[in-house]
Amino acid sequence: MAQPEWPLLTAVRDAGTDDPVFQWLLLAGPFVIGLIVLVGRSPLTTAIAGGYLAMLITNTLRNGV
Amino acid sequence: MRGATATISRDLGRILEALGVVVFASILVTLVWREFYAVPAMVISGAIPLGIGIALRRRFSDAAQPGKLHGMMVAATGWAAVGVFGSLPFILIAWTIAVDPAALSAPDLTGRAASTVAAFQHPLNALFESMSGFTGTGLTMTDNEEALPRTLQWWRTIIEWVGGVGVIVLTTAILARPGSGSLTLYESEARSEKIHPSIVSTVRTIWWIFILFTFTSILVLWLAGMPIWGAINHGMTGLATGGFSITDNSIATYDSALIDFALLPVMILGSIAFPIHYLILSGDLENFYTDLQTRWMFGFFGVGSALLTGVVYLRGTYDSLFAAFRYGLFQFVSAMSCTGFQTAVDSTNIALGRWPMGAQLTVTFGMVVGAAAGSTVGGIKLIRLATLLKGIRFRIIDVFYPESAVRRLKINNRRLTETEASQEFEEAAIIALLWLLFLIVGATVLMAVLPAGEYTLENILFEVASAQGNVGLSAGITGPGSLPTLGKVMFLFNMWIGRLEIIPVVVLLRGVLKRGGMY
């Protein structure tokens, strides 16, 4: 699937590995933290933050297997 | 020499431009926290380096590309310059609060908060804080970090975060074009690793990894129970292995074993070389044990923490084995990763400066060695220790072989020729020797300027190793009032040479002295 092209974001995304999950995590990071700043500690934000970390670890391990 | 001045000035200008951009970007934090009185101070702090930077770059735009000598001089002057110009927010905000010019509604501080901010009215204290931040040291002139305006809390964090990767790496990522002498500058900033053939691509990948891990670190700490502002600041300074905190007693303020343990992976991430991170993220997990530095790092963390735990437990510093393990593990990883977060302080348990001598020397050893080259840590670094140990072993065993035997020294899966082995061994030996030499110089100066009998020799060695290793752990010597002026100047020098691995600073000093007819 072709990924959308935005001038600055594309440059940032392409600087790292070719893995789309990591690229997505990099771009989603500020939004997750921004959500926590706005909403505070709640089951939803805790689940999203936990999911973010779980996705990072799982994808790293999946790439290695 | 005129050509050299032009080249150095042009590249110094680019570094100052990048610094100006960082200051202006930080004004966003000032606005978010509604500290409007600090806006003029931040604008001036950004405009000065940006203006000088643009002027230098334009004036010397046709200067030659940097050679090895220029690269070292640019690195040394560049790091000194960001230290100087990075002190402006501290000075200007402190004076804004003190005199409140133009009725900016600056806060009326009292007690410890007032004295904490007022310390930065003195330019030397501000310069110390700035240099400590950019070099990722973390020793501070702040008495109570919680009392600082949020803008200054953020400024301390962002300079450590940028400094962890390197100001030249930042400048190269933003402003450099391929083939513009970037490799020379990159190597002069104590980096040699390449992820891609192009150095510009390499530094952009380094930033990509660093930013991804920054988000990760922030979320780990927040999930462990840290408030989000603390998680943002400690996540950034922890990953950069800088160690500045926004709380009065560093990480001890939280007094949470969960937060202590959550910070361990953050500091460890900062201790692994960026190319290894890239390989691991790309699926080559075996680099955790095939890479010599990473393997040794985990080994040293394990053995050092066990040793420290044993010492503080058996000497009765802590009553329970768990407490000894919790503080021993955290403080050794914090020391060897050159982070400098502190959980052992007087207010919650027993301060590092009052730990048994064996424990203090174990922590000092960790600070001197440091972790992996190519990461964000300071110290001599593991690859040099490995080169020295393997080189010595190679030389000794060589005696037992016939003269005609062809032997190769093997370091980190590389088989070195005789010439390569000699070169690497020589470089490691020179840097280790200079490191120890300046450690002794710093300790001698400190012994001369500190009040007699107030601190032990292990306290002094600990503090100097912390400054030169860019660690930031303190035995209680560093502070705006407790450290005499000459001691502050000495530590500025220790932090500067420690970050650049000594040689570029020595080269710059030789160049300056030679030009002045003194060498």
Cα–Cα dist B449/B455, whole Å = 11
Q: Residue B196's pLDDT is what?
A: 80
Q: Is A7 on the interface with B (CB under 8 A)?
A: no
Give the domain range for residue B160: 2-191
Of B477, B475, B509, nearest in space to B493 by CA: B509
In a domain, B510, yes or no: no
Count, residues in chain B: 519
**HSE value, Cβ hemisphere, 13 Å, CA-based, for A30:** 4
- Most B CBs within 10 A among A18, A21, A33, hence the mutation to make, goes to A33
In a domain, B381, yes or no: no
Q: Residue B190's pLDDT is what?
A: 62
B454: closest CA of chain A, how far (Å): 45
Q: Is A48 on the interface with B (CB under 8 A)?
A: no
- Most B CBs within 10 A among A18, A36, A57, hence the mutation to make, goes to A36
Q: What value of ipTM does the predicted structure carry?
A: 0.91
Q: Residue B200's pLDDT is what?
A: 80
A3 has pLDDT over 80: no
| pLDDT tens over chain B, length 519 residues | 567 889 899 999 999 999 999 999 999 999 999 999 999 999 999 999 999 999 999 999 888 887 888 888 888 999 999 999 999 999 999 999 999 887 788 898 888 899 999 999 999 999 999 999 999 999 999 989 999 999 999 999 999 999 998 877 777 766 665 555 666 766 766 666 778 877 788 888 899 999 999 999 999 999 999 999 999 999 999 999 999 999 989 999 999 999 999 999 999 999 999 999 999 999 899 988 899 999 999 999 999 999 999 999 999 999 999 999 999 999 999 999 999 999 998 877 778 888 999 999 999 999 999 999 888 888 999 999 999 999 999 889 989 988 888 888 888 888 888 888 888 899 899 999 999 999 999 999 999 999 998 999 999 999 999 999 999 999 889 999 999 999 999 999 999 999 988 988 999 999 888 887 766
Q: Residue B312's pLDDT is what?
A: 94
In a domain, B314, yes or no: no
Count of structural domains, chain B: 1
* 3-state secondary structure at position B37: helix
In a domain, B466, yes or no: no
Cα–Cα dist B330/B324, whole Å = 10
B415 strand-pairing partners: B410
Using the beta-carbon criterion (under 8 Å), do A36 and B223 form an inter-chain contact? no
In a domain, B73, yes or no: yes
Cα–Cα dist B20/B16, whole Å = 6
Give the distance, in angstroms, between the CA of residue B364 and the centroid of all CA atoms in the same chain.
16
Residue of B nearest to A30 (CA): B215
Using the beta-carbon criterion (under 8 Å), do A63 and B281 form an inter-chain contact? yes
Residue of B nearest to A21 (CA): B281
A20 has pLDDT over 60: yes
The tokens for B14 are 């680019």
Using the beta-carbon criterion (under 8 Å), do B212 and A29 form an inter-chain contact? yes
In a domain, B116, yes or no: yes
* 3-state secondary structure at position B434: helix
CB B173 within 8 A of CB B203: yes
Cα–Cα dist B83/B159, whole Å = 10
* 3-state secondary structure at position B448: helix
Cα–Cα dist B290/B311, whole Å = 31
**Which residue is it, tokens 């303020």?**
B253
Regarding predicted confidence, which is higher, A10 or A35?
A: A35
Q: Residue B342's pLDDT is what?
A: 93
Task: Go through B326-336 and write b for each residue having 16 or more CB atoms within 10 A of its CB, e for each that does not.
Answer: bbbbbbbbbbb
Residue of B nearest to A18 (CA): B282
Q: Residue B155's pLDDT is what?
A: 98
- Most A CBs within 10 A among B203, B206, B215, B269, hence the mutation to make, goes to B215
Q: Residue B72's pLDDT is what?
A: 87
Count, residues in chain A: 65
